[in-house]
Every structure is written in C-alpha cells, then in structure tokens.
C-alpha cells in the first residue's frame, strides 16, 4: 500500500509528505470503521501537531480522487471515508442503524439482476453506493 501510494502520488506529481503518510496509515488500520474528516483529524493529532483540519480534508479528497479511499454519506450529511479492501469491483453496501448510528458492511453485491436490467437500457454502470437504514441486532433487542 505504501508503495502504491508513492507511485500513485508520484504519477500525479504529488509528494509523499509526512501528513499524507500519517493519514494513509490511519486509514489502513480502521478495522471496518468509517471515519469522518473530524475523526481522522483527532487521530492524526495524536501522531503530530503539524497537521490542520484543512489538510485532512484536502488529503482525504485527494485520496478519493486517486481511488485510494472511498467516501460515502451515511445519511447525516457528513462524509465518511474508508479504504475498500473487498475484492469486488463495486462498492460494498452499508447498513446504517437509526438508533445507535452503527454502520455495518454488507459485502455481497447481489445486484447482478438489477445491474443487467440497467445495462439493457444502455446505461453503463461504473459503481453504486447503497445505504440501508434500519435497526441493528442490539437495538432491535432493546426495542422489544
């Protein structure tokens, strides 16, 4: 990943700065979490004082453009970022709990039929971003 980052940055004429390296390292160790720019900022501040929120925003957007990171809106209007480690060519789906805000990943695409129907209409699908809103197992139990 480090090499991939350096290559990708280099190709576009960007340098591998310590800030960019810190942000990428953080994003590589998310364990399935989806972080907002603010959350990335407070984690990055634990590693260095020499980083601003503006740098975080710029760097995250740069990484999204470079296809190193994925970005999605979890429904509260705030973008969350993650590295998509699934091998699937399309973005995985997200199940978002309306009670506790937990974001669960759903890794099977399962949209083959829909995608081929859309393709029949002459539309070429590059990707999709699907969110399901509802209640996670824990909150479902508590509701009873």
Segment contacting Zn ion (CB under 5 A): 6-14, 38-46, 56-64, 99-107?
99-107
- Residues whose CB is less than 8 angstroms from the CB of residue 14 and which lie 6 or more positions away in sequence, other chains included: 20, 62
Minimum gap (Å) between residue 89 Cβ and Zn ion: 7
Nearer to Zn ion, 9 or 69 (CB): 69
Minimum gap (Å) between residue 49 Cβ and Zn ion: 30
Q: Which phi and psi angles does 110 have, rounded to 5°? A: 60, 20
90 interacts with Zn ion by CB under 5 A = yes
Q: CA 89, CA 124: separation in Å to the nearest integer?
A: 14
Using only the alpha carbons of the chain, give its radius of gyration.
17
Segment contacting Zn ion (CB under 5 A): 1-9, 17-25, 73-81, 88-96?
88-96
String of contacts with Zn ion for each residue 46-85, x by CB under 5 A: ------------------------------------x---
Minimum gap (Å) between residue 12 Cβ and Zn ion: 25
- Which of 96, 72, 101 has its CA nearest to residue 84? 72
DSSP string, 3-24: HHHHHHHHHTT----HHHHHHH
111 interacts with Zn ion by CB under 5 A = yes
Q: Within positions 119 to 138, which residues make up the interface with Zn ion, using CB under 5 A?
A: 136
User: Which pair of tokens denotes residue 54?
Assistant: 């503006």
Query: Site for Zn ion (CB under 5 A): which residue of 100, 114, 121, 129?
Result: 100
């Amino acid at each position: 990943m480090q090499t991939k980052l350096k290559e990708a940055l280099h190709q576009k004429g960007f340098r591998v700065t310590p800030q960019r390296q810190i942000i990428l390292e953080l994003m590589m160790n998310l364990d399935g979490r989806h972080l907002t720019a603010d959350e990335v900022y407070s984690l990055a501040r634990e590693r260095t004082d020499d980083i601003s929120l503006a740098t975080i925003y710029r760097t995250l957007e740069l990484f999204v453009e470079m296809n190193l990171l994925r970005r999605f809106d979890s429904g509260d209007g705030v973008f969350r970022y993650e590295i998509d480690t699934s091998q699937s060519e399309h973005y995985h789906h997200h199940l978002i709990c309306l009670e506790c805000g937990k974001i669960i990943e759903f890794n099977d695409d399962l949209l083959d039929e829909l995608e081929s129907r859309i393709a029949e209409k002459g539309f070429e699908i590059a990707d999709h971003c699907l969110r399901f809103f509802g209640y996670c197992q824990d909150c479902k139990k508590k509701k009873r």
